Structures are given as C-alpha cells and as structure tokens.
Chains A and B, each alone.
Chain A
Amino acid sequence: GESVGLHLPTLSVQEGDNSIINCAYSNSASDYFIWYKQESGKGPQFIIDIRSNMDKRQGQRVTVLLNKTVKHLSLQIAATQPGDSAVYFCAENTGYSTLTFGKGTMLLVSP
C-alpha cells in the first residue's frame, strides 16, 4: 500500500548546526503535508505545513521543502538548539479526514 516513510531514523547534530530531516512519500494524490514534533511522553506538536501547490514554506527557524517530482519532503531547522531534540514526523493527507504519519526521525542535539 502507499505510505509515508523517512530515510534516517536518527540524526545527531551539534548545537548551532542546521538540521535537515527527510521524508519520502508515495501517494502522488496527496495534497497537504505537515511536520510534527513529538517530545518524549507528549503528543505531536504542529511545526509547519505545506500544500501541494507550493514547493517551499518558511516559518520561524524552520523551512519545509516539497519536491513533487520525486515525492520528497524535507524539514530544515536553522541553528538547531537542544530544545529541538525530539522525534519528527512527516504526515500526509490521504483522505478527507485521514492524516497518515511516516515512521519518524529522532533528532539529537548535543550542546
């Protein structure tokens, strides 16, 4: 079946570095994508979203890039901080009220 997946299960960076978390999706009909951050023992927290008619969207310290040609989504975090340490999930809309999550990438930020 079609699914959303991530290339790297764990990403370790130094504080101050830029982080890039990648996500591959296979449902070409998906039109809306979201990145969530989940800290240990907490629910997912919205970071940024992007519609399929866009290829880039910027937030505060975060940028999401969408490449529909290769079905690839990435989350860039500038000047990564220890508080950014968490699991990051990409999710795609696969139905009117159905958000399908990818496997997740753990980001570890060292001081």
Chain B
Amino acid sequence: DAMVIQNPRYQVTQFGKPVTLSCSQTLNHNVMYWYQQKSSQAPKLLFHYYDKDFNNEADTPDNFQSRRPNTSFCFLDIRSPGLGDAAMYLCATSREGTGTNEKLFFGSGTQLSVL
C-alpha cells in the first residue's frame, strides 16, 4: 500500500563520507520533494523536481544534491555529511505543484545519523 517509499529507514554515516538516500513512488506524480527535518522542528524544503526540472531552494547548501533518473525514483546525495546534517530526511510527492492546491504525500522518512 505504501505509495512513497524511502530506503533505508535508518542510515548511519561517517563525518565526511558521501551518503545517498533513496525515494520511490507508485503514484506517478510529477513533483518530488526532499525535506530536511531536525528534531522538534518543522520540515524544511531542500529542493524539488517538477518532472526533470530541478528547483533548488536558495538556502540549501551545495553539499546537498539530488537526482531523478525517472518518474518513480529520486535520490538525495550528501557529498560530505557534517554533524549538523543529522536529521530526518523526508521525501514527498504531489501530482502537480502546490500552487494548484495539490497536497503532498510523504514517505516515512530516513533518519540519518552522522558519526
């Protein structure tokens, strides 16, 4: 039944070691998003893809990159994780942009720990 699937559920990486988080969707939605959520805080948008078009938020660090090889999959790459990057990373999808009153469907998230 899961429509937005994130793997792995928990990820541990070392300081400075590149890490990739995965997201897949079965909804055939056009838009895929990556949010970062730190403990007791609101989700913060990092970037999103509308189809193949990448849209980066102005304050997203260059350390964060994303790839969307096809409609179903989207990856979050952290090139050199720092201790401050430890967080829950949430993937979400929407059929169209939220400006058209489309709601987001979230995955269960990947909890990233940086040692």
Interface string of A20-35 (1 = CB under 8 A from B): 0000000000011010
The answer to whether A68 has its CB under 8 Å from any CB of chain B is no
The answer to whether B94 has its CB under 8 Å from any CB of chain A is yes
Query: By the criterion CB–CB under 8 Å, are B98 and A93 in contact?
Result: yes
Query: By the criterion CB–CB under 8 Å, are A97 and B43 in contact?
Result: no
Q: Which of A90-111 contact B (CB under 8 A)?
A: 93, 95-104
Interface size on A, residues (CB 8 A): 24
The answer to whether A42 has its CB under 8 Å from any CB of chain B is yes
Among A32, A43, A89, A103, the most chain B Cβ lie within 10 Å of the Cβ of A43
Nearest-Cβ distance from residue B54 to partner chain A, whole angstroms: 11
Find B103's partner among A46, A89, A95 (CB 8 Å cutoff).
A46
Which residues of B are in contact with A by a Cβ distance under 8 Å?
4, 6, 31, 33, 40-45, 48, 50, 55, 57, 90, 92, 94, 97-101, 103-109, 111
